[in-house]
Chain A
Amino acid sequence: MNLIECRNLTREYHKADTVIRPLDGVDLDVERGEFLALMGPSGSGKTTLLNLIAGIDAPTAGTIVVDGVDITRLSRNRLAAWRSVHVGYVFQLYNLIPVLTAFENVELPLLLQKLSRRERRARTGNALEAVGIADRADHFPRQLSGGQEQRVAIARAIVTDPTIIVADEPTGDLDRPAADDIMNLLTRLNEESHRTILLVTHDPQTAGHADRVIRLDKGRFVSDRRPESVAEAPA
């Protein structure tokens, strides 16, 4: 059964008299527990698609049904509530809040849920443990390396046990060893916890961790393949 179903998904921006269409009528089905990578050149629409599925942007046309809910019909506030339960977002530049410690950053999404302080602390600790950064819980982002910051960001994304994890070039700002660490972590989360992961990347090696890779160009899908063949294809 599909967890995500997108139909005729279109996103347009208006700049002066010009209409920019980063996503042009795409259809996409993603199964529960699938690890999907979106690839393509800059401006191909992969981040736009990711943002639409994550509910942080609204399509100009089309529908997005996640776990039976058409999120395009939700109000701004209901969409925020939906995101807090169903989406964990990992950014390229980590986007941790600099004045909060690693622990406090991870705890942020839990403040929205009806949990006691003890439950929040336990779940936050578990999330940090899961990404192997529990010993840095009291560190501020400026005291962490890029790879460590991204681990904290992943902990923040998984702490609410979301339906889907979306990651927008999560290794784009990291060196190769750190990038491999992060991808191994995401792969483990997918394999062991059966989390559905949607990943945007330019890097074929990173995309190689996914079950399925979709290539986009000019807002349309140009291929939908298994990773073995992706690693050999030009980026």
Chain B
Amino acid sequence: MNVTRYVPLVVKQVCRHRVRTGLTVSGIAIAMFLFTTIQAMQRGVREATMETAADTTLVVYRKDRFCPLTSRLPRDYASRIGRIEGVVSVMPVKVVLSNCRTSLDVVIFRGVPKDDFLRDRHGAIEIVAGSLDDWRRRSDAALIGETLAKRRGLRPGMMFDAAGITTYVAGILRSDNPQDQNVAYAELEFVQLAARSGLGVVTQFNLRVADPSFLEPVAEQIDDMFRTAQEPTATFTEKAFVGRLAGDALELVSFARWLGLGCLVAMMALIANAIVLSVQGRIAEHAVLQTVGYTSRLIAALITAEAMLMALVGGGLGATAAVVVARVGSFALSVEGQSIPITAGVETLAGGMLMCAVLGVAAGLVPAVQASRRPIAECFRAV
């Protein structure tokens, strides 16, 4: 059977029942907007916290501290850490935040030794605007993560003032690492001075090990080394570190999963309601179709296709709006100096559309089958 000849019939039924379709599609779009936004948050969490086999980065933090304002470690720990077997590089980092709370617009400054930073990130970052030479030359220069730059409208050559630090925007950087996308990198000493925290004090050390198998033994050795020091350390893999600091935010995002499921249930109920009402109002119409020779299966397929089309149109609108908002807004959920970007792309959109198609079919199937199995003569008697 060539089903394509029935497609115009389904499209006409959806397009020409304007009020029903308009209301249903609007409701689906709103539900899908929420669902896709939650998906984008969850995707950001996954990207920020899920470890992969290739991860080789450790973060050394002050033990029992969570906020960068209270994690204070002597910079000279770096030389002792660097001597441990398996450690490839150690980079002291001074973190300064515009605020420590959970927020969608936190500015994070990271003070780093410029040469160490460029060596560490070689090949992992791309300067999409501005000049790396400018950043090297000027002591007050900052490389701004692409997400932060978009959100704050920053361009190379501008002065940027946040968290009590005024910097010159030397370049915009792009990176696959979520923690690079929402920060401003500046010279370590410049940030230390601007933050009035003392030149010898840093917030953390980021270090690379030669191989993922070194992660655990190196972390243990570092924490053992400073166990009795005045400033003991706690060492984590980078993503575990993000997960630890962003625990509260992660709980919220996990809870949001239920909201997402609620959106899907609401969407399904909305489609089912529209189809049930439509089927009840079109008893004679379906009886006529049966009379002229349409089989029960074909009528059920037509009704289900209507449900799926409405779901796809509404879902497509809602999901596209969510992706556009996430991209244009460049939001990142920041907590304790760690960024969880809200990332939505083609995969999020495609996943949302697939979900819409499945829900449309699921919501339309039962009323469609019921409508198609009703005896014709009974239908005509009922109207």
Question: Which of B153-161, B238-246, B281-289 is found at the contact surface with chain A?
Answer: B281-289
Residue in A82, A87, A95 whose Cβ sees the most chain B Cβ within 10 Å: A95
Nearest-Cβ distance from residue B151 to partner chain A, whole angstroms: 47
Q: Are the C-beta atoms of A108 and B289 separated by less than 8 Å? A: yes
Nearest-Cβ distance from residue A162 to partner chain B, whole angstroms: 10
Near A by CB (< 8 A), chain B positions 4-21 give 5-6, 9, 12-13, 16-17
Does A122 reach chain B (CB closer than 8 Å)?
A: no
Nearest-Cβ distance from residue A26 to partner chain B, whole angstroms: 17
Chain A, Cβ-Cβ closest to B292: A109
Nearest-Cβ distance from residue A119 to partner chain B, whole angstroms: 12
Nearest-Cβ distance from residue B126 to partner chain A, whole angstroms: 52
B interface secondary structure, majority: helix
Tell me which residues across on chain A come within 8 A of B258, comparing CB atoms: none
Q: Are the C-beta atoms of B288 and A80 separated by less than 8 Å? A: no
Near A by CB (< 8 A), chain B positions 330-383 give 375-377, 380
Question: Which of B45-53, B78-86, B171-179, B294-302 is found at the contact surface with chain A?
Answer: B294-302
Q: Are the C-beta atoms of A95 and B284 separated by less than 8 Å? A: yes
Nearest-Cβ distance from residue A74 to partner chain B, whole angstroms: 12
Nearest-Cβ distance from residue B244 to partner chain A, whole angstroms: 58
Does B290 reach chain A (CB closer than 8 Å)?
A: yes
Does A100 reach chain B (CB closer than 8 Å)?
A: yes
A77: contacting residue among B5, B284, B297, CB under 8 A? B297
Does A16 reach chain B (CB closer than 8 Å)?
A: no
Q: Are the C-beta atoms of A89 and B292 separated by less than 8 Å? A: yes
Tell me which residues across on chain B come within 8 A of A51, comparing CB atoms: 376-377
Q: Are the C-beta atoms of A156 and B292 separated by less than 8 Å? A: yes
Does B291 reach chain A (CB closer than 8 Å)?
A: yes
Q: A99-B12, A100-B12, A111-B9 are in contact. Are A56 and B295 (CB under 8 A)?
A: no
Does A235 reach chain B (CB closer than 8 Å)?
A: no
Chain B, Cβ-Cβ closest to A78: B295
Q: Are the C-beta atoms of A111 and B5 separated by less than 8 Å? A: yes
Tell me which residues across on chain A come within 8 A of B13, comparing CB atoms: 99
Residue in B6, B12, B291, B380 whose Cβ sees the most chain A Cβ within 10 Å: B291
Q: Are the C-beta atoms of A97 and B297 separated by less than 8 Å? A: no
Does A81 reach chain B (CB closer than 8 Å)?
A: yes
Does B293 reach chain A (CB closer than 8 Å)?
A: yes
Q: Are the C-beta atoms of A77 and B295 separated by less than 8 Å? A: yes
Chain A, Cβ-Cβ closest to B285: A97
B293: contacting residue among A81, A95, A104, CB under 8 A? A81
Nearest-Cβ distance from residue A187 to partner chain B, whole angstroms: 23
Q: Are the C-beta atoms of B377 and A57 separated by less than 8 Å? A: yes
Q: Are the C-beta atoms of A54 and B294 separated by less than 8 Å? A: no
Q: Are the C-beta atoms of A111 and B376 separated by less than 8 Å? A: no
Nearest-Cβ distance from residue B297 to partner chain A, whole angstroms: 7
Nearest-Cβ distance from residue A112 to partner chain B, whole angstroms: 5
Q: State A80–B375 Cα separation when bound (angstroms).
A: 12
Q: Are the C-beta atoms of A84 and B292 separated by less than 8 Å? A: yes
Tell me which residues across on chain B come within 8 A of A97, comparing CB atoms: 285, 288
Nearest-Cβ distance from residue B275 to partner chain A, whole angstroms: 16
Does A178 reach chain B (CB closer than 8 Å)?
A: no
Q: State A112–B295 Cα separation when bound (angstroms).
A: 10
Q: Are the C-beta atoms of A56 and B290 separated by less than 8 Å? A: yes
Interface 1/0s, chain A 7-49, versus B by CB < 8 A?
0000000000000000000000000000000000000000000
B290: contacting residue among A80, A85, A93, A100, CB under 8 A? A80
Q: State A55–B129 Cα separation when bound (angstroms).
A: 75
Does A83 reach chain B (CB closer than 8 Å)?
A: yes
Q: Are the C-beta atoms of A108 and B295 separated by less than 8 Å? A: no
Nearest-Cβ distance from residue B236 to partner chain A, whole angstroms: 62
Nearest-Cβ distance from residue B1 to partner chain A, whole angstroms: 9
20 inter-chain pairs at a CB distance below 8 angstroms, sorted by A residue, are A57-B375, A77-B295, A77-B296, A80-B294, A80-B295, A80-B296, A81-B293, A81-B295, A84-B294, A95-B288, A97-B285, A97-B288, A99-B12, A99-B16, A99-B17, A100-B16, A108-B9, A111-B6, A112-B294, A156-B292
Report the 10 A-B pairs with minimum CB-CB distance, sorted nearest first.
Answer: A84-B293, A99-B16, A57-B377, A56-B376, A109-B292, A80-B295, A95-B288, A83-B293, A89-B291, A77-B295
Residues of B bordering A, CB below 8 Å = 5-6, 9, 12-13, 16-17, 284-285, 287-297, 375-377, 380
Taking A77-B295, A95-B287 as given, write out 18 further A-B residue pairs in contact, using a Cβ cutoff of 8 Å, ordered by the A residue number.
Answer: A51-B376, A56-B376, A77-B296, A82-B293, A83-B291, A83-B292, A84-B294, A89-B292, A91-B288, A99-B12, A99-B17, A100-B16, A108-B292, A109-B292, A109-B293, A111-B6, A112-B293, A117-B5
